[in-house]
Amino acid sequence: MQDFLNVSKSLNGRRWCGPTGDEDRAALALEQQTQLPPALCRILAKRGVAAADVDSFLAPALRDLLPDPRSLLDMEKAATRFLKAVNTKERIAIFADYDVDGATSATLLIDWLRQMGCQATLYIPDRIDEGYGPNDEAMAALAAEHDLIICVDCGTVSHGPVAAAKGAEVVILDHHLGAETLPDAHAVVNPNRQDESGDLAHLCAAAVVFLMLVEANRQLREAQAKGPDLMAMLDLVALGTVADVAPLIGVNRALVRQGLKVMANRARIGLVALADVARMDTAPNSYSLGFLLGPRINAGGRIGKADLGARLLATTDPSEAQALAERLDQLNSERREIEEGVRAAAMEQAENRGLDAPLVWAAGQGWHPGVVGIVASRLKEKTNRPAIVIGLDNGEGKGSGRSISGVDLGAAIQKLASEGLLIKGGGHKMAAGLSIEEDKLEPAMARLSALLAKQGAGEAGPADLRLDGMLMASAITVELIEQIETAGPFGASAPAPRFAFSDQQIFFTKRVGESHLKITFGDGIGPRIEAICFGAYDSDLGPALENHGGARFHLAGRLEINTWAGRQKPQMRLEDANRASEA
């Protein structure tokens, strides 16, 4: 494949790849058959959308894409047990993971139960003291006071803790990779059970909980009763899906799209308060869910009190919502400071170890367990390799990993646990967590590297920058960006389209903070375009653009609408550049 605009090594060290010949031809055919803008047709062609399916793709209907909940094993059984607890006023406990998916899953149940006149006890374990998932002590204590324990976004591999819940029945609603055997629970609903088909493996836990509530409502209707309005709860499903980086394909895309519309109504008090402290001044989109709201909800579980995020989402008290939102915003700022220190140390250690192995990893004494997952993401992005980052304390390490496309990290971690190299570990293809004895660190990472090498992890070079095509700066309007966004929402497995702008003149530059850069560019024909480049000074990109000396550049990035004081204008989120004369 020829380098797009002849850029073989950009200022960020990446090769630019444009559409294939087949994609070009498919885009042209779509343009001729649909009369849609060429830029939108390029996106549709890349997604493999045929002309006959364009309308349904651009306006996905949830009723057409939502699977039958009973297609998941144990689903009918789980919903029946749940309704029994509701109808007989049993004591219900919800044991949830401490991340956004766990918080949204728990809130879905709390919201549904509240509307049915029921309450539930919420329990979220402390990340540092208890670690991920159910533990024997907590489950035994909950079982002593409750009749039914519902584990959400966790529990599939918790054989011991489920057995410890004596006197109570346990229902598990999860999506993490299952082992060959399941805990002795009343029901385990999980699209990633070993005996599932895998057709719904892309669902997050919030979506699994939503399907259980769909089944519960169906059973209520069959009994001539009525359940709560589930469509109004899709804001939670959308938030959990995006924040957990679930693929935005199939029903996930429809769930997020509809959920964003629900969220725009600003009916959930907790989300309104959080959006306001995060200074969201536009309609919610997948970016705001993943990078503004999600990290703040996560902050409680990372470095604060684990249940803050779920309490915020579930509250109906405006004063409590405001206080919780401000606390989470403060914790998120503290989290960023902690993360930066760990990131710098981990990057130095990984570079000394070598960045071309199948696995990039780092471990350090006192590294906060709440930020190791984020730092692993940074290492993965930097190296295009699976990455593990571990915080060590008193001879034991707690770590988190992130993977790249085509490499199943969760399965490899689970194999290490079964071989006794880990205290425990699990997850899914793209993310996993682990606990390990410090003296087993080196052999465990060597074994993990070997397992990932068999999956091809060591063969990848620096990540190519894949572009959907080239646009003229003079053609960029708010209306065009709005048309492009109809192909969204964008996120995991459905990346926001990137476009290149050839031979552009830089008219203005301004450094923002420590590492960001604002520029204004244009082709000299139409209006100038403003762009923001986050982390520009983490590479040669920032200095080269700031000190351009009149040189012209090829620029690449994503288009977005900037809203300020009620006015909208096009903006580019600049990701890469190259001097035009060097391409």
Residues in the chain: 583
Please, where are the H alpha helices in 59-204?
62-65, 75-87, 100-115, 136-145, 159-164
Helical pair 234-243 and 205-222, crossing angle rounded to 10 deg: 150
pTM for this model (two decimals): 0.91
| Cα 257 from Cα 489, distance rounded (Å) | 6
Show pLDDT as tens, one digit a residue, over the chain (583 residues). Answer: 579 999 999 999 889 999 999 999 999 999 999 999 999 999 999 999 999 999 999 999 999 999 999 999 999 999 999 999 999 999 999 999 999 999 999 999 999 999 999 999 999 999 888 988 999 999 999 999 999 999 999 999 999 999 999 999 999 999 999 989 999 999 999 999 999 999 999 999 999 999 999 999 999 999 999 999 999 999 999 999 999 989 999 999 999 999 999 999 999 999 999 999 999 988 899 999 999 999 999 999 999 899 999 999 999 999 999 999 999 999 999 999 999 999 999 999 999 998 889 999 999 999 999 999 999 999 998 888 999 999 999 999 999 999 998 899 999 999 999 999 999 998 888 899 999 999 999 999 999 999 999 998 877 666 789 999 999 998 899 999 999 999 999 998 899 999 999 999 999 999 998 899 999 999 888 889 999 999 999 889 999 999 999 999 999 999 999 888 778 999 999 999 999 976 5
Peptide bond into 489 cis (omega under 30): yes
- Cα(130)–Cα(435) distance, rounded to whole angstroms? 11
- Residues in contact with 137: Cβ distance below 8 Å, sequence separation at least 6, in sequence order: 164
Going by the DSSP 8-state scheme, the letter that residue 274 receives in this structure is: H
H helices of 130-285, in order, are 136-145, 159-164, 205-222, 234-243, 250-264, 269-277
522-544 as b/e: b if 16+ CB within 10 A = bbeeeebbbbbbeebbebebbeb
Residue with tokens 């006149």: 117
Which H helix or E strand runs over 504? Answer: strand 499-512
Tell me how far CA of residue 456 lies from CA of 379, 430, 460, in angstroms: 18, 15, 8
Residue with token string 């969204």: 488
Amino acid at 371: V
Distance CA 183, CA 158 (A): 6
Q: What is the DSSP letter of 98?
A: S
**In this predicted structure, what is the pLDDT of residue 526?**
82
Answer for the pair 509, 515: CB distance below 8 angstroms, yes or no.
Answer: no
Q: Is 566 exposed, middle or buried (0-12, 13-18, 19+ CB in 10 A)?
A: exposed
What pLDDT, in 10s, does the model give residues 107-136? 999 999 999 999 999 999 998 889 889 999
φ/ψ of 364, rounded to 5, equals -150, 150
Classify 496 in phi/psi space as left (phi over 0), alpha (psi -120 to 50) or beta: beta
How much is the pLDDT for 186?
Answer: 98
Q: Are 177 and 416 in contact (CB under 8 A)?
A: no
**pLDDT tens sequence across 13-29:** 889 999 999 999 999 99
- What is the H or E stretch that residue 45 is in? helix 38-46
DSSP-assigned letter for residue 178: P
What does the block give as tokens for 193? Answer: 């059970």
SS3 of residue 220 by DSSP: helix
What domains can you pick out in the chain, each with its CATH number? 4-18+467-582 (2.40.50.140), 65-328 (3.90.1640.30), 354-459 (3.10.310.30)
Give every CB contact of residue 50 below 8 A, 6+ residues apart in sequence: none
Q: Tell how strand 465-466 and strand 516-522 pair up.
A: unpaired
What's the Cα-to-Cα distance from 222 to each of 215, 216, 225, rounded to whole Å? 11, 10, 7
